[in-house]
Structures are given as C-alpha cells and as structure tokens.
Amino acid sequence: MGHMMDKIKTPAYKKPRLRNFLKLAYLLWLEVYRSIFGKKFAAEFDVTYRCNLRCDHCYNLQLDNDIDRDVPLDQWKARFEKMYDKGIRLVQLMGGEPTLRMDVIQQAVKTFPFVYVSTNGLIKIPDHWDIKIILSIDGMREKNDKIRGEGVFDKAIKNYRGDGRVLINMVLTMENYNDLEDVVLLAKRCNFSGVVCNIYSTTTYEEDKKIKGKDRQLIIDELRRVRALYPETLLMNEPMIKWFEDADHKDQCHWRDQIDHYNVDWSSRVCYSDDPDCGNCGCMAGAMQPPFKMVRYPSDLIKIVTFKKS
C-alpha cells in the first residue's frame, strides 16, 4: 500500500489525465480496503481559528484573530505523521481560513496524496501545489459580498480565474439560490472544475434559521433545473439532490461516520461543527456519500476528486 501511494503522489506523471486516472483508481482502492477492513483513510480538521472574514452564515463560533492559539508547524508535522501511519491518505483542511497557515497546507501536500483546502480565496495558493481547492462563492458579486464582505468576490475570482484545481462551493440560502445558474456559468468562464452546493445547515439550537418545507423545496427544484441545463458543470447529481430533499440523516452518514474530524486543538468532533443538526442536513460532503455510490456518475466523481490543472 505504501509503495503504491508513493507512486501516486509523486508528480512524475507529466500527463494530467494519467495522473488523475491513477489518483481516482487509488481512491477507489482505498474505499474497497475501508469497506472490507473498516480502516478509515480520510480526515478533516481546522488548521486555525483565525479568519480574514466574518461571513454571515459561518458555523465556526470559535473564530478569533489570536495568532497565539495557532499550533506550531512541528506539532502539525507530528500529527500528520501519526495520521499517515494509521492509514489516513486524504485530508480536508478547514478553518478559520486555512491559507492563513500556508505552512500547514504545504506540509500536508508533502505528506498526503489527497489534499483538499476550503478557502475564501483572498490568499492565492501556489499554482504548483497538487491539491483540490474548494472555493467559497455564495452568489454573484452583490449577493456574495453581502454575505462575505465588500470586494471579496472580485478578489477571489482574480486570484483563481483559469485554475482548473478550483471547485466552487456555494452555500444555498433563500437569499441567494436564484444566483445558482449564474455561478455555474461563472465557473465555466473561469475554467474551474465545476460547482457543488450545500444548503445552509444549522446547529441544533438554531431552529429559527432552518431551511425546510416549501422554502427547501424551492432550492431543490432550482438544483434540478440547473443540473439539467449544465450537467457537466453543476456536479450535483440526482442522488446528491435527493440527500438534500430527505434532509434527516441522524441514522446514517458516511461523512460523519467514516471520516475522522478534529478541531485545531485536536479534539474529536462530529462533523465540520461540534453540534450539527443532522435532522436537517444540507452538507455536500454528506450528500456525496462513498466513492462507489458515485461511480454511476463518473464525470462528477472525476471532477470532484481529481486535481486538474490548466
């Protein structure tokens, strides 16, 4: 297993299609191994509590700008080595804003064959790093900047236009879901991998903010309409949309149950949040489910999990 991983992550394959095919094959092999032996291979965690934005819908209540709360790089290196030794091969770096710890991202790239970084796009990740960039764009300029701050939309697009590593992640709300088609067209113009979506999800104590009933169905209908128009760019296939439609996933969730989750202090948590409302879930990672359930949609799977460069 180790020898195969070394070959996969070494940037010796000059043809991107071959490299991505090998990455996809390796990911499916890891899922087979997990299914048979119950050995997890993926983890997500916050790399910092610091953030350069204060988005209206952020679930991270621990955000601050205290650099002293950051974990030293040598400690992250030790954590990564332990994770790798126990079988972790895929990591998703969250925050806060992960690019405020570019040193941690670089160390992850050196350690793991699959690295995903969720970012607001204000700080550009170096072009030569072989990672997947999950870029948060929550509508076109007016609606995105109302949520994220003035000038954020233009800065993010300027940093990443033409970067095939980028996958837009749009959090759908009642205020912005009508921008979905325009965001998909934006992704096409920018040569991004595509667009995925969350429906705004709450913690268990935010009953008044839940999107449910007729409101939720309006978003579901728009997802289906735009998917039918742009199936090669909006990577939300019918099983993923159905996951959102059903909403209640307290009983079973691959992302929650088969992925390790940690905060900056390395305390284990349930999901992206310590207190997610699994009874009204809108998490794209949960909707994606295990890789083998995505095999019916190979184009979606390839664009979501591989690291195409332009």
Question: pLDDT tens string for the chain (310 positions)?
Answer: 443 434 434 333 345 677 777 888 888 899 999 989 999 999 999 999 898 887 777 766 566 666 778 999 999 999 999 999 999 999 999 988 999 999 999 999 999 999 999 999 999 999 999 999 999 999 999 999 999 999 999 999 999 999 999 999 999 999 999 999 999 999 999 999 999 999 988 765 566 678 889 999 999 999 999 999 999 999 999 999 999 998 888 888 888 899 999 999 999 988 887 777 888 888 888 888 777 777 788 888 888 877 665 4
Q: Does residue 95 belong to any structural domain of this protein?
A: yes
Q: Does residue 93 belong to any structural domain of this protein?
A: yes
- DSSP assignment string, 33-102: HHHHH----EEEEES-S--S---TT---TT----GGGSPPHHHHHHHHHHHHHTT--EEEEESS-GGGGH
CATH of the domain at 268: 3.20.20.70
Residue 53 structural domain: 2-305
Q: Does residue 42 belong to any structural domain of this protein?
A: yes
CA distance 78 to 61: 27
CA Rg value for the chain: 18
Q: Does residue 147 belong to any structural domain of this protein?
A: yes
Q: Does residue 310 belong to any structural domain of this protein?
A: no
Q: Does residue 239 belong to any structural domain of this protein?
A: yes
CA distance 81 to 62: 26
Distances 247 to 91, 111, 269 between C-alpha atoms, Å: 25, 35, 21
Number of separate domains in the chain: 1
